[in-house]
Amino acid sequence: MKIVVIGAVAAGLKAAARARRNDPAAEITVVEKGKLISYGACGLPYYVAGDVQDIGQLMTTPAGATRNPAFFKNVKDITVLTETLATGIDRAARQVTVKDLASGEERQLPYDKLVIATGALPVKPPLPGVDLANVFQLWHPDDAKAIREGLERGRFANAAIIGAGLVGMEMAEALKMWDVNTTIIEMKDQVFPAFLDEEVAGSVAKYVREQGLTVLTGEKVEKFTGDGAVQAVVTDKRTVPADLVILAIGVRPNVELAKAAGLTIGPTGAIAVDGGLRTSDDDIFAGGDCVENTHLVSGEKVFVPMGSTANKHGRVIGDNIFGGRETFHGILGTVAVKVLDMNVAKTGLTERDAKRLGYEYVTAMIGGHDRPHYMPEAKLITVKLIAEAATGRILGAQAFGTGEVDKRIDIVATAIVLGGKVGDLLDVDLAYAPPYSPPLDNVAVAASAVQNKLAGKLKGISSLTAKEKMDGKTVFLDVRTPEECKQQGCLPYENVQYIPLGQLRSRLAELNKGDEIVALCKISLRGYEAALILEGEDFDKVKVMEGGINAWPFECKK
């Protein structure tokens, strides 16, 4: 069998390697337009930051072998043609036209099965000055090498990052490591607009600003200015000095070859594939960042390019080429990102998604340490859980904090894939020991909060709803100690009343039963206890501000 693969990064080479395991005799040829293959693009920001010293490490096996054409030929008997561009697919003749970019020579590669793994392309806005020197798109190792070389030589004093998504925020951390004055400019009204809800994003942005980075949201870039090299970014609101610009405004699927061949393109603009990753032509498979996926909760077709998904695609394709019946069921859009000492993660639907799709849902946001507070490594995290109100089916979750959030999101992602409900998160027998987690894991606490809401035992409101009430007649009852308020900051509003929890029962006369009261503390666990005390004393308008002051996304006063 002759197998041709177009694209030699994640999905393409994974499919080729899997195909080789299935058939030692197959003739496998991989075509790649660039010089480099099989590189870990997700590691590029960490090379720029200096965490990865040698960029070649992003192209090696764990044993240290460089993944180059010679490696794939010698170890896997796969022919990789670099600097070779696929220019056309003749489906009737079953052949691919390729062009040697060095010599200009064209030829045809016949195939029995074809794999398209052309990936995605970074979006480059058609703005004045976008082609000035030192305006980069971090999409290829060559970009990362040029940026780091400039940093090592001290060429950059002020940087502007256009886009507050994954790459943009990771690069903000990288530039912070080099003490470069960095401004993040995002057209949407929040950071991580693709996968975080507003109040979670607000808390992340607040932290980033506290670390000395400038975050400008709701601001549109109009042009770049400079004499030969970029010197400033002009937005609709201001001019930002910048001798380094990183364009991180997203990617689009690279589907031109597939489209020209008459293959079906899906509603997302990416290649449409079935569960076995076959295109509309049974002899052509496609995977990686050029295809669309099915969201496992909503059933919608989505375009969410991720290296993890691309590798899974390659495995399925490599089996199904030989008649396998492997199915790629879909994705949850699970992501994790580190921004300085803040960890952020998400899986499934956001609350915004759930509302758009018409779900009747309930959310709960809880804060707590990622392991017992007495452990020296204990750090705070906040978890937001979203569930269907009628059934308790888990729809999604988000988490942020300086503690470990990835394993909490992985727990929820696993539960969603297995059809789990909120109660299942309480039933799962998770590993417990003080160095790893609290006795009742944060995810279980979030699930309990959702159940309490569904049962009417917890009347919680989000920080966004609380903000709307701050200038009204609602009384905000802060039950922290005075020392905590000094350390953590206070809400800058007149309708906040401070009564430490231990004094609440003896000072009930200071509160009016006719007022709406919102209780809070550092993470609102004591706030919930305060609400129960008040309800036991016939206060009937009591709520809790979920997540407490730790999840308050706005400014506090010290």
Catalytic residues: 42
Q: How many CB atoms lie within 10 A of CB 214?
A: 15
**How far is CA 125 from each of CA 14, 238, 249, 250, rounded to the nearest angstrom?**
32, 19, 9, 10
Which residues 6+ apart lie within 8 Å of 189 measured at CB?
198, 217, 218
Six token digits for residue 464: 């966004």
Amino acid at 532: L
Which residues 6+ apart lie within 8 Å of 163 measured at CB?
184, 185, 186, 247, 248, 249, 250
Nearest to 391 by CA among 431, 422, 355: 422
| Three-class SS state of 497 | strand
Nearest to 114 by CA among 273, 314, 322, 283: 283
Six token digits for residue 418: 């297995």
CA atoms of 546 and 415, how far apart (whole Å): 23
DSSP 432: -
Give CA angle at 397 (391, 401), nearest 5°: 150
Residue with tokens 């090379």: 47
**How far is CA 356 from each of CA 34, 351, 353, rounded to the nearest angstrom?**
41, 9, 5
Nearest to 477 by CA among 422, 542, 412, 429: 542
Which residues 6+ apart lie within 8 Å of 528 measured at CB?
458, 519, 544
Distance from first CA to last CA of the chain, Å, rounded? 71
Six token digits for residue 73: 């030929």
CA atoms of 529 and 110, how far apart (whole Å): 71
Nearest to 285 by CA among 326, 236, 251: 326
